[in-house]
Structure 1
Amino acid sequence: MAQPIHRDTRGVFIIAATPFDQTGAIDWNSLDRLVDLYAQTGVTGLTILGMMGEADKLTADERRAVIDRVLARTDLPVVVGISDPGLGNLADLGRHAMDKGAAGLMVTPDRGPARDDRVEGYIHAVAAALGPDAPLVFQDFPLATGVPVSARLIRQLSEALPQMVMLKHEDWPGLTKISALRAQERDGAVARLSILCGNGGLYLPQELARGADGAMTGFAYPEALVQTVDLHHAGQPDAAEDLFDLYLPLLRHEQQPGWGLALRKQILMRRGAIACAATRAPGPRLTPTDIAELDRLIARLEQRLQR
């Protein structure tokens, strides 16, 4: 069983897609191959049932089955997204994941008025429902949730809840938030918080320079994220950014709102990890022109890597 995540966790936790066949059923063989591909690229861990994993389109039984399948397939630490409109459903799924060997659980603030007291009360309720032994990742993604959260409140929650050990930073723009959180830790008066960044990795070199520990996102070339983080942590920020820049056109293309998941799945299919690039309905479908654009970007990336 993998070790739980903690306040010094660093590296790349790749956000895993959920493969479907053309009928919309989960493709379990493709899920196995996808987990294997992720492991081969050198990632630190996996995050499943996130937004990229289309968790909101899965039934409760399907979510549990995905947890069971992935945790049986890999020895890497696995963080499980458990966000749900119902606190009871969230707690049941979280307990199931931890019982099966998850390394941590990821939650977002529930949608509603962006008031600090409401967000604070909700996260305290989540922590109480899950218990102190479940390490928590706070996903700060206001572009998706509609709930902005200040650095002050994130720190307040992390200090009040010892099990909240990691921030998935996806605020945009949000580089100053990373700086603010790290500045609070300089005198040692507050506990360190692990910070892994999302948004497709679009700003990863700058986030690492601000003090982030790595990435938690779903770019279809995880090795690019791994190598960028490794080079930065080895004290070679220029080399890290030079490598990252090779992938930037494709990474940027993946960040199109509403289309990014379809593009990522198309790439993963081309890489042999999944048999079908379908998203579960309702979801985007690529046109022949979309695929031709993607093919050109991939070909250009391969040429740059060869050079």
Structure 2
Amino acid sequence: MQTMLQQQLRGTGVALVTPFSANGAIDWNALEKLIDHVINGGVNYVVTLGTTGETPTLSSEEKLDLIKFTFEKVNKRVPVVVGIGDYNTQDVVKRLQSCPLDEAAAILSVAPYYSKPSQEGIFQHYKAVAAASPKPVILYNVPGRTGRNMTAATTLRIANEVENVIAMKEASGDMVQCMEIVRSKPKDFLVISGDDAVAMPQIACGMDGVISVAANFFAKDFSAMVKAALANNFEEARRLHYNMLEGYDLMFAENNPAGIKAFLAYAGIVENHFRLPVVPVSSELEAKINKYLAAYK
């Protein structure tokens, strides 16, 4: 039986962008506007310090400030999940013990990247992370960024053997792998999509929702699509999904978060500024995005 927290994390989570001003500083006013936009749009929870938030370019002090600011502005309206992951297991353990996590619902921790550990290395990493975490842990498999896929067998081993791990964000893009996890997972273990464009069919296969990039912009329609799919109302879910499908393609055509920030800048929610090595989308792609959004209904 799922806990209350797992019920709260079933649906639409949004991986928040970090808005910047032209001088490179965090734009706190824009972040507050974004938080209100996604909560008013119906998302079930928010995630701070994900890759979409350009976390690799943030200082340790800025990360702490973002956690505290997000807690303050969300103000318990929805749960807040905090991203804490690294390729250095000891560093993750230290951050879990030093970050202000009292108000966090859970931790989203990406599989170790760059070093490309073996499946046993991934298992031992998460075993150490889960033991050190004061909050429940959500695994995050995104081989396109980490360079190493966490197999279904490893995910299921962690789900069955490691306490304090409650869910998996699966962004491998491998539908068969996702179905193998859903088929064999413990009953109370959540499997959450990390791919906006396939979240609807993944929910049809039995997944529990999505941690979304697109919901930064499409907060209302994306949340409604996920809610409909979870209720087995696939006629409505398909209608909303196909209305946003071109938007997904444009959003991820060059880079995330460059694409989603172009959408949000069009809406006047954030300014289109980044920290290197991320840069704005090309003028050609921006024109396509603006044309799409002008016609979006």
Is TM > 0.5 for Structure 1 vs Structure 2?
Answer: yes
CA distance in 1, matches of 2:118, 2:91: 24
RMSD (Å), alpha carbons: 1.9
TM-superposed deviation, 1:290: 2.9
Percent sequence identity over aligned pairs:
21
Amino acid at match of 1:180: E
How many Å apart are 1:113 and its aligned residue? 3.5
- Find the aligned partners of 1:147 and 1:59 in 2 and give their Cα distance: 26
Aligned pair partner of 1:124 in 118, 123, 127: 127
Gaps of 5+ in 2: none
* Residues 80, 97 of structure 1: 8 Å contact kept: no
**Contact conserved, 1:7 with 1:166, CA < 8 A, in 2?**
no
> Distance in 2 between the 1:235 and 1:5 partners?
22
Q: Distance in 2 between matches of 1:296 and 1:163?
A: 46
Match of 1:136 in 2: 137
| Number of the residue aligned with 1:99 | 101
Count of residue correspondences: 290
Indicate if the aligned counterparts of 2:182 and 2:206 stay in contact, CA closer than 8 A.
yes
Contact 2:193–2:209 under 8 Å retained in 1 = yes
Measured in 2, the distance between the counterparts of 1:249 and 1:49 equals 27
Give the match for residue 52 of structure 1: 52
Offset of residue 4 of structure 1: 7.5
Shift of 1:282: 1.8
Could you tell me how far apart the structure 2 residues matched to 1:297 and 1:53 are? 24
Distance in 2 (alpha carbons) for counterparts of 1:288 and 1:33: 26
1:175–1:206 Cα contact (<8 Å) kept: no
TM-aligned CA deviation for residue 19 of structure 1: 0.4
Q: Is the 1:7–1:165 contact (alpha carbons within 8 Å) kept by the matching residues of 2?
A: no
Q: 1:207 to 1:281 in 2, by over 3 A?
A: same
Going from structure 1 to structure 2, the CA distance change for 1:191 and 1:97 (only over 3 Å counts) comes to: farther
Corresponding residue of 1:295: 290
The C-alpha deviation readout for 1:101-146, integer Å capped at 9, x for no partner, is 011111122132442111111111212222xx41101001111101
**C-alpha distance in 2 between matches for 1:19 and 1:87:** 28
Number of the residue aligned with 2:268: 272
Unmatched runs of 5 consecutive residues or more in structure 1:
none
Say whether the 8 Å CA contact 1:7–1:194 is kept in structure 2.
Answer: no
Do the aligned partners of residues 31 and 92 (structure 1) sit closer, same or farther apart at CA in structure 2, a change above 3 Å counting? farther
Instruction: Work out the CA distance in 2 between the residues paired with 1:269 and 1:4.
Output: 36
Describe how 1:1-307 pairs up with structure 2 within 5 A. 5-6=5-6, 9-74=9-74, 75=76, 76-97=78-99, 99-111=101-113, 112-130=115-133, 133-172=134-173, 174-185=174-185, 190-199=186-195, 201-219=196-214, 220-258=217-255, 260-274=256-270, 276-301=271-296, 305=297
Q: Decide whether aligned partners of structure 1 residues 182 and 135 sit closer, same or farther in structure 2, where only a CA change above 3 A counts.
A: same
With normalisation by structure 1, the TM-score equals 0.88
Structure 1 residue 262 displacement after superposition: 1.6
